[in-house]
Amino acid sequence: MRMLRSVGGPAFGPRDRIVVVGTGAAGWSAAGELRRLGFAGELVAIGAEPVRPYDRTACSKGLLTGQQRPKDTTLDLRGHPSVSWRTGTRVVDTDPYRRRLLLDTGETLAY
């Protein structure tokens, strides 16, 4: 099994957790790239919007012109195995020293 190593940083293993804040195209891309690079740990993507990830650029172009339907803007999650998509959840504070996020639910999430 390959280990993902950050430049000049520690190796990540299957018992680690990475949290991606944002479930738009950038968060979707980051989650997919982490898996593609071999990150085998827990991967959580948190987004404030209550819907699954979608392409906002397509909304502003294709939907407004009538060339796309809302379902056409949904991002494909099949290339993102074992990612926990937590939609409808907002990160309200961060504690980088203790590596914790405070969510709007009152929950804290370590990373």
Question: Given a cut of 80, is residue 10 above it in pLDDT?
Answer: no
The answer to whether 21 and 53 are in contact (CB under 8 A) is: no
- When pLDDT is averaged across residues 32-59 and rounded to a whole number, the result is 86
The answer to whether 99 and 10 are in contact (CB under 8 A) is: no
Q: How far apart are CA 111 and CA 109, in angstroms?
A: 7
Which residue type does 94 have?
Answer: T
Lowest-pLDDT range, 38-42, 53-57, 84-88? 53-57
The candidate with the shortest Cα–Cα distance to 103, out of 52, 48, 50, 53, is: 48
Give the pTM. Answer: 0.76
- When pLDDT is averaged across residues 68-86 and rounded to a whole number, the result is 79
